[in-house]
Structure 1
Amino acid sequence: MADSITHSESVIDIGGSKTKRRLQRSIAAKIIGFDSEGRHFLPDIFFSDDDGLQIWRDINRLPDYYQTRDEIETLEKYGAELESFIPNKCTILDLGCGDVRKTKPLLDRLETSGKDIFYFGLDLSLKAVQGNIDGLRATHKNIQCTGLWGTFEDGLEWAKGIEGPMLYLSLGSIFANDRLPRAIRYLQPWHDALRPDDLMLIGVDCLQDPELVWKSYHDTAGVFERFIRNAFAYSNRVVGVEWFRDEDWDIRGELELNPVAHHFVLRAVRDVDGGESGISFKKDDEITCYGGYKQTPSLVRQQFQAVSLTEIACWPSPSGKICECSRPLTRLWYLLSFSNGRN
């Protein structure tokens, strides 16, 4: 681990430079393919280019986008309890660190704790990771901060080579953001990589208020729609062909109940021919993207039980809207703590 931490650069490429090439090999199949409900879909990976993450900074500051605000408030309120679970010489892997704004309350507390902590912020935008890690290094002298450039899967493989206790941070409803069977399959490899001394802190959005959820995705300034359309524009650059043109597609939101879920749907207003890309759609064909599944605590616990994660602690968000978790610190919008069940 020392070699990685004393890396001469503030960011380590663990696969990020290969991401575009990987997508180029599979993008047609992924977009033309179908999800478990038989609908075309655009994978979430396309939302994390440099432009997408810059728009995301604007989104998580919107007045009706409650998730990031509640995450920050949770870590501010329960940071002391959470810090007590984190051992000395712990390596923290922050999955999808973004602008590190929501992680900062925890890092600030660890900075003054006197513990030796190694923080690695993982994201897909090299530009964003570089800038955010440089900012942390300027203000946090006791924590050793390093960026990781790559996908979550790259991060999982990288983590297997780390010695000593680890804390996996998932502060964006990543692991519960799907219907239960698929959420279980996605979480399983992470559980399998856990060792007895490792922890996960997983945040899960449990808000079941349809009106508030809808408002969080549909701002009056159209920032969220710009975020969605940017992801499709990024797919043009990956493919090398402009198969997606704004004027060819309408966009709307769809809301499900029991439990609440929201996703965006793009509908072709005319036939779409992507030429050499092999991507084509007929008028009225639809593509879903950016699903947000708001789990109930019962469903979240079913997911954790299915992969043998043991709850250690649970902290509700101060607003009462969502929850987070700890050991694997998994979060509901309860901060739950879990162990890997192999002690």
Structure 2
Amino acid sequence: MSEHHPAEAEGPCHGLVSVEVHLHPDEARRALHQEALTGLCLHPKELSPKWLYDERGSQLFDDITRLPEYYPTRREREILHAHAYEVARLSGAVTLIELGSGTSEKTRLLLDALRATGSLQRFVPFDVSEPFLRRAAATLAHDYPGLHVHAVVGDFERHLAHLPRGGRRLVAFLGGTIGNFKPEARARFFQDVADQLAPGDGLLLGTDLIKDRARLFAAYNDSAGVTAEFNRNVLRVLNRELGADFDVDAFSHLAPFDEEQGWIEMRLVSRRAQQVRLPALQRSTVFEAGEVLRTEVSCKFRPRQVEAELSAVGLQLAARWTDRAEDFALSLAFKH
């Protein structure tokens, strides 16, 4: 299904917005049903982080990026401020594609740089939340007159084959979101991306780097409790979509660093023994006091590790930049 409509903007000149929908509410609901059936029977119980990002979750995450403890967004923005024009020059992209785009706030630095080089014609924000994506696309089209904003509603683990083709493309996967993939899934994802790229196309990848453990912990356990609210929001999603009766306040948020795996692990911890009904699945699930539901992992990287994983799928590193504190890295690689 593909829909096309003008951006909701005033004034004589604004960009065209087209919205391509590959993830419909019924399909997403079926996927959630299947994953809940499987994940809530595991030990420990586990759900994909994609279910954190309904409309409310997307807004909460946007709030997280502004917290003083949450450094990745600021560090990545610092790198883009310093090097966006170099990215634009090296990529020569006609189309910028952003996976997991959200509000595309940082991406404006890339859009500005690519427009300044004169190459940019199209921006493709790709995300799972259709309402959130539609608003963001309309805003971008208003702010960048003449730019074609071709939004794609989809799951980047399943729908990369629908990325629009034509001209030299740069795929941006920012924010350290690649850290949500465990190693085997990450290797598959990199291969899927590489398979969709033509020779000369590029991937701009943001990765959070291994650092002081106290700073890592603080970034995912903020004092204002916004990350806790974001994490517990997945229970509200389950209540809404599955008719479940999770007592949201009966779960605590905790996100420790797993030294062996090299990742932050977002957990919801049951404060008491409880039984949760899941009517849409025609079953219930039991939580013991202290039992964990894992909702996300966030892997942290060393620069050589990133280069090796990209090289394994035929993507050659052209440049890598870090912020001054060396907290975060941006890697630019091309398919040859």
- The residue identity in structure 1 corresponding to 2:24 is S
The answer (yes or no) to whether the contact 2:176–2:206 under 8 Å persists in 1 is: yes
* CA distance, structure 2, for counterparts of residue 279 and residue 28 of structure 1: 11
**Residues 1:138 and 2:160 are matched in the alignment:** no
Residue 323 of structure 1 corresponds to which residue in structure 2? 329
Unpaired segments ≥5 residues, structure 1 = 327-337
1:96 to 100, 117, 127: 100
For residues 83-109 of structure 1, the C-alpha deviation after alignment (integer angstroms, 9 at most, x for no partner) is: 102325x22210011111111111112
Q: Which residue of 2 aligns with 1:166?
A: 169
Listed one character per residue, the Cα deviations across residues 271-311 of structure 1 (whole Å, up to 9, x for unaligned) are 32315332402313321122111111232233223323211
* 1:271 aligned partner: 274
- 1:14 to partner: Cα distance: 2.4
Structure 1 stretch displaced more, 222-231 or 145-154: 145-154
Amino acid across the alignment from 1:339: F
Q: One-letter code of the match for 2:39?
A: I
Cα distance in 2 for partners of 1:140, 1:275 equals 45
Q: For each residue in 1:135-165, what CA deviation from the matched residue of structure 2 results, as whole angstroms up to 9, or x when unmatched?
A: 2112212432232222214540211x52232
Using a 3 Å threshold, how does the CA distance of structure 1 residues 266 and 323 change in structure 2: closer, same or farther? same
| Structure 1 residue 258, shift from structure 2 partner | 6.1
Partner SS for 2:50: helix
2:153 corresponds to 1:149: yes
* Secondary structure, counterpart of 2:255 in structure 1: strand
* Equivalences, count: 320
How many angstroms does 1:238 deviate by? 1.6
User: Alignment partner for residue 51 of structure 2, among 46, 52, 75?
Assistant: 46
1:7 pairs, out of 4, 8, 22, with 4
Report the counterpart of residue 312 of structure 2 in structure 1: 306
SS at structure 2 position matched to 1:68: helix
The one of 22, 25, 31 equivalent to 2:30 is 22
Q: 1:275 to 1:152 in 2, by over 3 A?
A: closer
Q: 1:27/1:259 Cα in 2 relative to 1: closer, same or farther (>3 Å)?
A: closer
Distance in 2 (alpha carbons) for counterparts of 1:291 and 1:153: 16
- Give % identity: 23
SS in 1 for 2:298: strand
Q: 8 Å contact 1:175–1:183 — kept in the other structure?
A: yes
1:174-220 residue CA offsets vs partner (Å, 9 max, x unmatched): 33444433321332211222221211111111132111111111111
1:286-297 residue pairs with structure 2 within 5 A? 286-297=292-303
Whether contact under 8 Å (1:248, 1:272) holds in the other structure is no
> How large is the Cα RMSD of the aligned pairs?
2.2
Residue matched to 1:129: 133
- 2:18–2:149 CA contact under 8 A, matched in 1: no
Using the TM superposition, give the Cα deviation of residue 50 of structure 1 relative to its aligned residue in structure 2, in angstroms.
0.5
TM-score of the aligned structures, taking structure 2 as reference length: 0.87
Q: 2:334 aligns to what?
A: 339
Q: Hey, what's the Cα distance between the residues in 2 that align with 1:271 and 1:318?
A: 47
Equivalent residues in 2 for 1:213-252, closer than 5 Å: 213-239=216-242, 241-252=243-254
TM-score (normalised: structure 1): 0.85
Instruction: List alignment gaps of at least 5 residues for structure 2.
Output: 7-16
